Amino acid sequence: MNAPIGSGPSVHTGRFAGRKAVVTGAAQGIGLAVAHRLVAESADVVLVDRAETVHEAAADLGAHAVLADLETYEGAESAVTESLARLGRIDVLVNNVGGTIWAKPYEHYTPDEIQAEIRRSLFPTLWTTRAVLPHLIEQRSGTVVNVSSIATRGINRIPYSAAKGGVNALTASLAMEAAPYGIRVVATAAGGTDAPPRRVARGPAPRTGQERHWYQQIVDQTVASTLMKRYGTPEEQAAAICFLASDEASYITGTVLPVGGGDPG
């Protein structure tokens, strides 16, 4: 069922020629698919991740790797500083870090788990955007593409939903502030995506029958809400992200594009 990286929607060779791009959460999944497509479309790319496997992923692409924990501002700032040292400038930032850690009804989350979900799926986007923004303002150009989720309306992952709702709000509000500087801020709302098995797990796998049932409820609700009745592929997500990052979307800002087979989220 999984499509190999690099397959799917046709690439547009040369679309990002001369452009410098940073992709976070790029060691696997959607982030890696975005990095593949950007490189295929002639961008000079930095892959950022806190997993050591980012070095291998970047080497396979002939791209740059930066190891950083974007759940802290210090990590985000160091990632941007190192990316600028590698690239000289940043034209595109793709904020892709995030993902549900636990799957269960809200009343079963502990306070620590709620905070962990917010740190995972909201703060990396807040911190990395804040770290790169002065550079984009100084050069008076740039595009920030945030990866949100249709799960802002969904079951058994309320803290994650709240975090992605924050990403949507950041997208809309920062677009207003940044437009006078020639900066666009946009987002995709990714639907269920059938990515290859993760090399680094987001969190603990369901251990009990009840936990497996709660996770299956997410899958069932996602497919039921999706008009196309299937999960997407990382390449389908990457195609939409790269479109928004490109000059083809030059008159689009402050918008969250659902990429969920008809589920608006």
Residue 251 gets which letter from DSSP?
T
**Which of 39, 1, 26, 59 lies closest to 242, judged by CA?**
39
Radius of gyration of the chain from Cα atoms? Answer: 17
H or E element at residue 32: helix 29-40
Catalytic residue numbers? 160
Q: Which residue has the tokens 């709000």?
A: 169
Give the separation between CA 253 and CA 247, rounded to whole angstroms: 12
E-strand spans in the chain? 20-24, 44-49, 64-67, 92-95, 142-149, 183-190, 256-259
Instruction: Report the Cα–Cα distance between both ends of the chain, in Å, rounded.
Output: 24
Beta carbons within 8 Å of 63's beta carbon, 6+ residues apart: 35, 39, 44, 45, 46, 47
